[in-house]
Amino acid sequence: MKTGEQSPDGREIWFPAKKYGWGWGPPNCWQGWLLLLSWLAALVGGMCLIRPMQHPVASLVYYAGFFILLLIVFRLKGAKPGWHWGRK
């Protein structure tokens, strides 16, 4: 697997921009995959502990927090978001 790409300002990019559309594509290095799999494991683990049907507000806060955390990591370690219409 190749190492992460570099952004114009010298940051290592773990999540490249999608080829078409807005957002980020799959990770391009092992750090990105490790982060994504860890995030998924923690999200699923929380689903088992919180029990959404018994604690709907707590589960909503938990899921929203995890989603915001992932967006922050994408913004810090991903390519600049924007619309892309294919590589030129």
Per-residue confidence band for 6, with pLDDT thresholds at 50, 70 and 90: low
Q: Inter-axis angle of helices 56-77 and 30-50, to 10 degrees?
A: 170
Give residue 50's pLDDT.
Answer: 81
Q: What does DSSP say about strands 20-22 and 83-85: parallel, antiparallel, or unpaired?
A: antiparallel
Range list of H helices, 9-84? 30-50, 56-77
Phi-psi region of 32 (alpha: psi -120 to 50; beta: other; left: phi over 0): alpha
User: Model confidence over 42-74: pLDDT tens digits?
Assistant: 998 888 888 777 888 888 898 999 999 999 999
Give residue 28's pLDDT.
Answer: 92
- pTM (two decimals): 0.75
Distance CA 66, CA 82 (A): 22
User: Model confidence over 27-36: pLDDT tens digits?
Assistant: 999 999 999 9
